[in-house]
Amino acid sequence: MTYQLTADNVIKLPLETGSTMFLPPEDNGTPEWAVYKAWLAEGNTPEPAPEPEPAPVLTTEQKLEAAGLTVAELKELFGLS
């Protein structure tokens, strides 16, 4: 059994069926939490949360394009053309 923390400390458990179960960070009294606590008591620790991917570094033109604008359109909006 492999538990993994998420970025917000939710506990992630991949199931044999291919789906994933998520446990809240605080004990909510469910049988799944009881199993998790027993697993911890055996000396196990969950895998840490994966490192978030860094945000891509975009040029000004790329940022404008993502917003649906061009440099020419922005200049026109500000009367800089």
CB-based contact 49:7 (threshold 8 Å): yes
Q: Which two tokens stand for residue 21?
A: 């179960």
The boundaries of the domain holding residue 75 are 53-81
Whole-number Å distance between alpha carbons of 72 and 81: 7
| Same domain, residue pair 8 and 37 | yes
**pLDDT tens figures, 48-74:** 999 988 988 998 888 888 888 888 888
Predicted model pTM:
0.62
- The CA-based diameter of the chain, rounded to the nearest angstrom, is 69
47 lies in some domain:
no
CA dihedral 66, 71, 77, 80 (to 10 degrees): 160
Residue 5, SS3 per DSSP: strand
48 lies in some domain:
no
Whole-number Å distance between alpha carbons of 60 and 72: 12
Averaged pLDDT for residues 5-34: 92
Number of structural domains the chain divides into: 2
| Same domain, residue pair 8 and 34 | yes
63 lies in some domain:
yes
